[in-house]
Amino acid sequence: MNWINRYIDEPLLQGAAMVMKIWHGHTGQRPDLLEPVWNLLSIAFLLIAAMQCLAGEALWLSEAALVMLALPSVLKLYKASAASADYDLKDYKALRATALRKRENEWALRLAVLVGALVLPLAEPVDDVTSAYFMLGACLWFSLTAPARFYLNAAEPPAPDEGDRLVGPALGSAA
């Protein structure tokens, strides 16, 4: 069990923390908005792929399913745009406490989702071409979004650039 934590779970958590730090540094957005943006980008990729591979009713069904999968992320981004966009020490402490709780309590669930995301695309192929494309799209959506969601929610969030005196530059410093 220690081997799994050391060589699989911890590097993925560190990678997710680094990606959130880069996201926050380059965009200035809150780090918890990376997950819905990633979900929407994955769904946009799958929408484009569906338009290339499917036609007729199968295309409409696939597009409707993808739009329904996108709604929670769209609502989360809409609520975040209506609220304060500032990321301060209070938000950092709340995200850090949530991430710590998720790191401690959900490590087995993270690994189960990771294994599922790796194995699911290898599922038994379906005879019908349209059904096979639909199943492939569902597998790709799960493989692209589920591990990212679990690891981004459990990763250490980046510290805010401003907020508390302990986080910002000291008074009287040259910075």
Report yes or no: 13 and 103 within 8 Å, Cβ to Cβ.
yes
Q: What is the pLDDT of residues 48-61, one digit of tens each?
A: 999 998 889 989 99
What percentage of the chain has pLDDT greater than the value 90? Answer: 57
Selected residue with higher pLDDT from 44 and 163: 44
d(CA 16, CA 30): 14
pLDDT value of residue 12: 95
Q: 10 vs 4, 17, 101, 150, 173, CA distance in Å?
A: 9, 10, 15, 13, 36
DSSP string, 57-68: HHHHHHHHHHHH
List pLDDT tens digits, range 57-101: 989 999 999 999 999 999 999 998 877 677 888 889 999 999 999
Asked if residue 152 lies in contact with residue 16, where contact means CB atoms within 8 angstroms, the answer is yes
Q: Check if the beta carbon of residue 38 is closer than 8 Å to that of residue 155.
A: no
Domain limits, the chain:
32-154
pLDDT of the residue at 152 = 95
Model confidence pLDDT, tens digit, residues 6-42:
899 999 999 999 999 999 988 888 899 999 999 999 9
Q: Rounded to an integer, what distance in angstroms lies between the CA atom of residue 165 and that of residue 52?
A: 53
Q: Are 32 and 95 in contact (CB under 8 A)?
A: yes
Q: What is the mean pLDDT of the chain?
A: 87
Name the pTM for this structure. Answer: 0.84
